[in-house]
A and B are shown apart, each in its own frame.
Chain A
Amino acid sequence: MDQLRLLFVDDEEELVSAVIERLELRGIEGVGATSGGEALHHLREGSFDVVVLDIKMPGIGGLEVLRTINRRHPEVKVILMTGHGSAEDNEIGRRLGAIAYLEKPVDLEDLLTIVDQAVNGKAGGPDGR
């Protein structure tokens, strides 16, 4: 299996950089994006196994990015992340095929467990539902 490629999207630059660095320390190729637009740009440029998406972002929000991913990159697994767990967003995210919904602050080890399960096909992806 190829090296895991993960796209981490959050409007907080500090958070993104720390997460990317920690991923690299674990041998995971992480790419950071601080807006929905940037995330879509990265998705067009390269291929990713998993995208971790913050729902609340200025400009193109997480859910909108998720919709685009579903259309253009259906093979990519998406994990949603939010600062406040709105039940409505959770529900919409699940309907749109997000494999998980995490509340901030997210523990990196938890995140990696979910990613691992998703990539190794244990959790249902968008195609498996």
Chain B
Amino acid sequence: MTEIIRGSAEDSDLVRTADAPEPEAPGQQVSESAYRRLRRMVVLATVTVSLLPLAITMVINYVQFRGALQAEAVDPMARLTLNTKRSLELFLSERRSGLTFLALDRPFSELCDRSSLTRMISNLNRSLEIGTFVDLGIIDDSGNQLCYSGPYKLEGRNYLDQDWFHEVARRGTYTSDVFLGFRESPHFAIATKHDRPDGGFYILRATIDAEMLSEQILTTGLEPTSDVFLIDREGILQSPSRRYGEVLTAIPLTVPHYSPSVEVVELKDDRDLAIFMSSAYIHNSPFVLIQIQPAEEAMGRWFTLRSELLGFLAVSAGLILTVILWGSGQLIRRMREADERRAALYHQVEYSNKLASIGRLAAGVAHEINNPLAIINEKAGLLLDLVMVGPETPHQERLAATVDSILRSVQRCKKVTQRLLGFARHMDVRTETIDLEALLREVLGFLEKEAEYRDLTVSFRVQDDLPTVASDRGQLQQVFLNILNNAFAAVSEGGHIGIEIAHEDADHVAVTIADDGVGISKEHLQRIFEPFFTTKSGTGTGLGLSITYGIVKKLGGRCRVESEAGRGTRFTVVLPISREG
């Protein structure tokens, strides 16, 4: 039978083609949030085990490197401070020795003479190479200035009430703080005590230009960034500081506690600058040597290394996080896919089981009906036989017609039970030689009544010399019943369904079932093969087409669907002519 049916090739450019996707279970099987939770946990666990050891290693490295580099920065500083301290101590002790030499060189009687004192100053300054002594005076044990040579008018002064006098009397030597002396320039004084042959003692006291101290400090070869100066024990600058001001001003730092050796501490100064401060007390003097170096300069190498370490940490952490996030995403996606496949499979099995139970029920019903049907058949046959062989009676013809009618009804019943049995048979793939047209007509038999009631036209167009296909009868019946059911559901009263069987290629036959029904929207078209996807809210299981797809795939074929909302749907099942394997 050949008829022209709607939705054929000429308007195929109006319809969308959707290649059948792999069946995919929707997310509602396991909730979205469960996967998110799982992913969070996986990420948290992997991040902890990978980043924690890295962080610990980094902290250990940080502390160790910092310690090592700090020592590297601090040690030279301490050494330099120690050297400067020694040279300052030597400087002071040379001056004291000079005074002691004078006292030993001449008897007391020759000392106390102004002109000889002046000569002595000049000799001392020459012998010590650096012109340092500004004045020289002799004080007796009563504190009286016996004689003096220098720019001040000090002769006749008494020092008995002064602390330094008592100190020199007690300890033998004395070095003073820096004070503003001659011409308002800073000076300091040293004094030594000497015994007189006639008993008692006298003191030699000399004033020295404080500039000498600064020169001593500068000759020790300091780094340009460091600041070295002297303070007294009250924190008053005894030599100028680059950072903290001029002589005789107070430094804004705490005076370090006394220690016989060099001490280095890290602290913040008044301008909140991180500094290293090394300090040393100068022996036999009120001076404390201080060296200041900004931490940034001292620890320059450390800061470079630190940024390298932190950079490395950041890059590794970033890399690890990226890999973990990506990996966990992949993992969860795979897991989810597997879950969904399992759920789909489970539902397919469930559906097959349901079909199998329906099949068993149908087989039972058919069997139970066939036996009484056989009796009716034979009894009616017998009745007909008897009527025909017997003598002619007035009702013979009517009787024969009646029996014939009974027999036709029996044949109709037989057709129904045979169909039921046909569906009940073999759920597994069983290859038979199948005439597709006959099979489709058989399936249509189930829908005949509905078509009649709803005034639907079903047309067949079958290509000439189509081969039979080797496939599974029961499964194909299920496939076409499903598709036809959908087509019937899609069309409205008086609608048209066209069935076309034609060669797809040399090895395949295509069965196309086209309807002029409601069609499928673009969004739905991509999902129609998904299990549980349904537009028949409430009534559909959403399994029909996914199972259809599964069966066709199992039979070595493929499905194709083209549809346009409002215009209709063309559903094509392509089947192999011979079944390999």
Query: Is A12 within 8 A of B371, CB to CB?
Result: yes
Query: Is B381 within 8 A of A18, CB to CB?
Result: yes
| B49: interface (CB < 8 Å) | no
Query: Is A56 within 8 A of B379, CB to CB?
Result: no
- Chain B residue numbers with a CB within 8 Å of A56 are 367
Q: Nearest-CB distance from A28 to chain B (Å)?
A: 12
Assembled-state Cα–Cα distance A56/B370 (Å): 12
Known contacts A14-B379, A22-B385, A108-B378; A84/B410 CB under 8 A: no
- Chain A residue numbers with a CB within 8 Å of B370 are 83-84, 103-105
Assembled-state Cα–Cα distance A4/B421 (Å): 34
| A19: interface (CB < 8 Å) | yes
Assembled-state Cα–Cα distance A21/B389 (Å): 13
Using an 8 Å CB-CB cutoff, how does the interface string of A81-115 with B read, 1 for contact, 0 for none? 00111110000000000000001111110000000
- Chain B residue numbers with a CB within 8 Å of A86 are 425
Which of B367, B375, B382 has a CB less than 8 Å from the CB of A22? Answer: B382
- Chain A residue numbers with a CB within 8 Å of B554 are none
Assembled-state Cα–Cα distance A22/B374 (Å): 14
Query: Is B421 within 8 A of A105, CB to CB?
Result: no
Output the nearest chain A residue to B417 by Cβ-Cβ distance: A84
Query: Is B363 within 8 A of A84, CB to CB?
Result: yes
Which of A21, A25, A87, A104 has a CB less than 8 Å from the CB of B374? Answer: A104
Q: Nearest-CB distance from B387 to chain A (Å)?
A: 11
Which of A18, A19, A83, A108 has a CB less than 8 Å from the CB of B371? Answer: A83
Using an 8 Å CB-CB cutoff, how does the interface string of B362-396 with A read, 1 for contact, 0 for none? 01001110110111111101100110010000000
| B268: interface (CB < 8 Å) | no
- Chain A residue numbers with a CB within 8 Å of B377 are 105-107
Which of B374, B385, B386, B421 has a CB less than 8 Å from the CB of A85? Answer: B421
Assembled-state Cα–Cα distance A25/B363 (Å): 34
Interface size of B as a range: 20 to 34
Total count of chain A residues near the partner, CB < 8 A: 21
- Chain B residue numbers with a CB within 8 Å of A108 are 378, 381
Assembled-state Cα–Cα distance A104/B378 (Å): 11
Q: Total contacts A to B, CB within 8 angstroms?
A: 68
Known contacts A83-B370, A84-B370; A12/B375 CB under 8 A: yes
Query: Is A104 within 8 A of B385, CB to CB?
Result: no
Q: Which of A12, A56, A105 has the largest count of B CB atoms less than 10 A from its CB?
A: A105
Query: Is B426 within 8 A of A103, CB to CB?
Result: no
| B418: interface (CB < 8 Å) | yes
| B354: interface (CB < 8 Å) | no
Query: Is B375 within 8 A of A15, CB to CB?
Result: yes
| B524: interface (CB < 8 Å) | no
From 318 to 375 in chain B, residues with beta carbon under 8 angstroms from any chain A beta carbon are: 363, 366-368, 370-371, 373-375
Assembled-state Cα–Cα distance A22/B375 (Å): 13
Assembled-state Cα–Cα distance A105/B412 (Å): 11
Known contacts A56-B367, A104-B371; A87/B378 CB under 8 A: no
Output the nearest chain A residue to B388 by Cβ-Cβ distance: A25
Assembled-state Cα–Cα distance A83/B366 (Å): 7
Q: Nearest-CB distance from B357 to chain A (Å)?
A: 16
Query: Is A84 within 8 A of B426, CB to CB?
Result: no
Assembled-state Cα–Cα distance A107/B377 (Å): 8
- Chain A residue numbers with a CB within 8 Å of B425 are 85-87
Using an 8 Å CB-CB cutoff, how does the interface string of A54-91 with B read, 1 for contact, 0 for none? 00100000000000000000000000000111110000
Output the nearest chain B residue to A26 by Cβ-Cβ distance: B385
- Chain A residue numbers with a CB within 8 Å of B381 are 18, 22, 108
Query: Is A19 within 8 A of B378, CB to CB?
Result: yes
- Chain B residue numbers with a CB within 8 Å of A83 are 366-368, 370-371, 374
Query: Is A105 within 8 A of B373, CB to CB?
Result: yes
Q: Nearest-CB distance from B432 to chain A (Å)?
A: 9
From 1 to 42 in chain A, residues with beta carbon under 8 angstroms from any chain B beta carbon are: 10, 12, 14-15, 18-19, 21-22, 25
The 9 residue pairs across chains A and B that have the minimum distance between CB atoms: A18-B378, A105-B377, A105-B374, A83-B370, A83-B367, A84-B367, A104-B374, A104-B370, A18-B382
- A interface vs B, CB < 8 Å? 10, 12, 14-15, 18-19, 21-22, 25, 56, 83-87, 103-108
21 A/B residue pairs, CB under 8 Å, sorted by A: A12-B371, A12-B375, A15-B371, A21-B382, A21-B385, A25-B389, A83-B366, A83-B367, A83-B368, A84-B366, A84-B367, A84-B370, A84-B417, A85-B425, A87-B425, A103-B370, A104-B370, A104-B373, A105-B374, A105-B376, A105-B378
